[in-house]
Structure 1
Amino acid sequence: MIRWIALAVVLLASAMPARADDYEFPASAAPVRMLVVGSTTDIGIIRPVIEAYQRSNPSVAIRYRELTTNALFSEARDACAGKRPADDVVLSSAMDLQVKLVNDGCASTVLRPGLQLLPDYARWRDQLFGLTYEPSVIVYNRRAVAEWEAPVDHFALLDLLRQPDRFTGRIGTYDIESSGLGYLFATLDDQRSSTWGRLIEGMGRNEVKLYCCTQEILDRVADGRLTLGYNVLGSYALAEAREKPELAVIVPSDYTLVLTRAAYVPDNAVNKADAGAFLEFTQGPEGRRILNEEALLFSPLDGADYLFRELGRAGGESRTIRPIALGPALMVGLDQMKRRLFLKQWRDSLGIAED
């Protein structure tokens, strides 16, 4: 009851302003139901999905809460323990943290036909669902790197970084101590690639700059403050490249990790029905059209073709794509001892002093 009263207040002109990272999407029809989404996805990227869902469900008001991966994990963990109200949907790019929350019993089972169609790597226990198909890419500034010398794979990137002084202070990547997504990409690179150790050493020699978020890297590469960005989310990069032609995007040809943005409905969520319907909508015809053509988040169902079409490349090249599967294997890197050792190796390679 308290929640419905709060919603009514939001819909009135006298409503209190939302926090800077909260966005309100009022319902256009009665009776009104509230859906609360906690997410790491930038509002500018996911807004078309929300608005399309509301056109089909005009009685649903949506409160969208945008947080960093680590902040969302902390709040979701507290909600699971009953220390704060739960969101109705928890959506994060930090797949490993999402798996841990579900493994800890925080999620409810969602049996929706549209979600059952997801490939095995994008569905776990009928509780955690991968809604997107997003490659980890290299970006560069076309004014600083000629197309003929652009690194088409991780080995070519290694060679490029050996050029003295050219890239000093001009490379950006995630700060894996503050970015859950960055940590996930780094641990998987370490597990699946023979180049990871040499790459971070090369970036360390070039005084790599570290950032919490994808957009910070993209902004700096696009305006020339950085020359290269490594392990950047391809969905955001491709959307930015549509507007800024000086930004070039490379899907490495030797291997490319593909993230699927994972969502679950908390076991103690208030509005489970609309939460499940929202997740299913993203994989329906209209949801997939928006993911594939507008948001460039792409869908696990058919997004690979759209991804390569956006890149202007043949879909047959998808054989080098390596989707990251949802499941317990992702929690290996979350073991505290292994995390400390991995971060120590990372700091040592980059020349970062201990606090």
Structure 2
Amino acid sequence: MPRRFFSSWGGALLVVLCLVGHAGAQEAVSFYGEERIGRQLLIRSTTDISIFGPVLEAFAAETPGVFVRYEQWGSNELFRQTLKACREGGAVADVVISSGVHQMVKLVNDACAQSYRSSRTEALPEDLRWRNELWGITREPAVIVYNKELVDQQDIPKTRFDLLDLLRPSRNRFTGRVATYDIEASGLGYLFAFADSLEATTFGALQESFSRTGAISTCCSTDIIRAVAEGQYLMAYNVLGSYAQGYQQTDDRIGITLPSDYTLVLSRAMMIPKGTTHFGEATALLEYLLSNDGVIALRKSLLISPLFDGENETGEGLPSTAQRTIGLSPALLVSLDAQTRKAFLQRWRSTFPAP
């Protein structure tokens, strides 16, 4: 699986590629700060190095004495590894950050996190902090992406109802050319789909339309967006907006729309696992991410999305009433209930049968 990485600047950044697909291993590793100081902060996260790297460069520049090892993981594997270390007493990271926020709530609920409180964490909205052990640090929409060169202006869906209308005719031009996440492979994809099932009256109809028109479930964000840009797919549903907008900056074939019936909003969750040996450095990172400088760095990396700031590409702004933040709360544990998950995945497989 190809990845994009930032090159080093000022000798501070070294990127090391690891074996992608090796069971139980991280996908990639990078380092920030001055290694000779020797105080290493281990961060495990699902965020691509190419996106989160500049944020960590800024943190290291403002935090003398901290050397950061950043490991990029898939959400499901990161959850399994962190839970195993918690239960069996294995080596833990100093910081875990994941887009699979339902999995993060499970880790906190299982007493795998340390508590921390400050004026900045207390200033977070209630749905972006839980038990002083889990904090939402980003703000990213789930969007529809489309190929600007291949999708006519009148066909750009502004709502899920518009998308249903596009897929309704038999043998329409979108047959086999609409994609979304494989929710069995992607913790984020599962989270978005489950949130849709609770939120949208259109969920059942969308599943039927995806099944009837041969929609594709696949992984992962960058791969889906690239395939839309290259015309393999005309459109993709529920794609993470930060990745889509980042890709769009270098490829103007990508168009983005925020569904106006409602748009899911993800806030990546950060926790400090029990057993960390660098609690002070971990809280320093949290404080930085919640500070004005940290917010600016996150905005530059599109992890706090500017798509909420003004009009989107369909010419309309997204009102706050259409924004559905996925809150950090025990309510997310329902999605991980064994019977609930089994039934949900069975329904998913009927929509996207294995090849």
1:177 aligned counterpart, secondary structure: coil
Match 1:114 to one of 120, 123, 136: 120
Give 1:57 deviation, angstroms.
Answer: 1.1
Higher alpha-carbon deviation: 339-348 or 39-48 = 339-348
Give 1:58 deviation, angstroms.
Answer: 2.6
CA distance in 2, matches of 1:276, 1:185: 29
2:228 equivalent in structure 1: 221
Give 1:16 deviation, angstroms.
Answer: 12
Q: Does 1:67 align with 2:66?
A: no
Q: Does 1:156 align with 2:150?
A: no
1:189 equivalent in structure 2: 196
| Correspondence list, 1:7-18, <5 A | none
2:348 equivalent in structure 1: 346
| 1:283–1:310 distance in 2 versus 1, CA, 3 Å | farther
Aligned residues: 334
1:194 aligned counterpart, secondary structure: coil
Higher alpha-carbon deviation: 307-316 or 134-143 = 307-316
Q: Does 1:329 align with 2:328?
A: no
1:248 aligned counterpart, secondary structure: strand
CA distance in 2, matches of 1:128, 1:140: 34
| Correspondence list, 1:134-283, <5 A | 134-165=140-171, 166-283=173-290
1:9 equivalent in structure 2: none
Q: Does 1:51 align with 2:57?
A: yes
Q: Does 1:309 align with 2:310?
A: yes
Q: Contact 1:308–1:314 (CA<8 Å) still a contact in 2?
A: no
The one-letter code of the counterpart of 1:255 is: Y
CA distance in 1, matches of 2:135, 2:227: 33
Residues 183-239 of structure 1 deviation map (CA, whole Å, 9 limit, x = unaligned): 111111011110011101111112111112111110100111110100100111111
| Correspondence list, 1:30-109, <5 A | 31-109=37-115
Give 1:247 deviation, angstroms.
Answer: 0.5
| 1:183–1:342 distance in 2 versus 1, CA, 3 Å | same
1:3 equivalent in structure 2: none
| 1:238–1:33 distance in 2 versus 1, CA, 3 Å | same
1:81 aligned counterpart, secondary structure: helix
Give 1:244 deviation, angstroms.
Answer: 1.2
The one-letter code of the counterpart of 1:54 is: A
| 1:192–1:16 distance in 2 versus 1, CA, 3 Å | closer
- TM norm structure 2: 0.89
Higher alpha-carbon deviation: 160-169 or 240-249 = 160-169
The one-letter code of the counterpart of 2:282 is: A
Instruction: Identify unmatched segments of 5+ residues in structure 1.
Output: 1-14
Give 1:30 deviation, angstroms.
Answer: 6.2
Give 1:177 deviation, angstroms.
Answer: 1.0
| 1:151–1:203 distance in 2 versus 1, CA, 3 Å | same
Instruction: Identify unmatched segments of 5+ residues in structure 2.
Output: 1-13, 20-26
1:12 equivalent in structure 2: none
| Correspondence list, 1:279-298, <5 A | 279-292=286-299, 294-298=300-304
RMSD: 2.2
Residues 76-129 of structure 1 deviation map (CA, whole Å, 9 limit, x = unaligned): 011112353100001000010000000000000011322221111100011000
Report percent identity of matched pairs: 40
Give 1:245 deviation, angstroms.
Answer: 1.0
- TM norm structure 1: 0.89
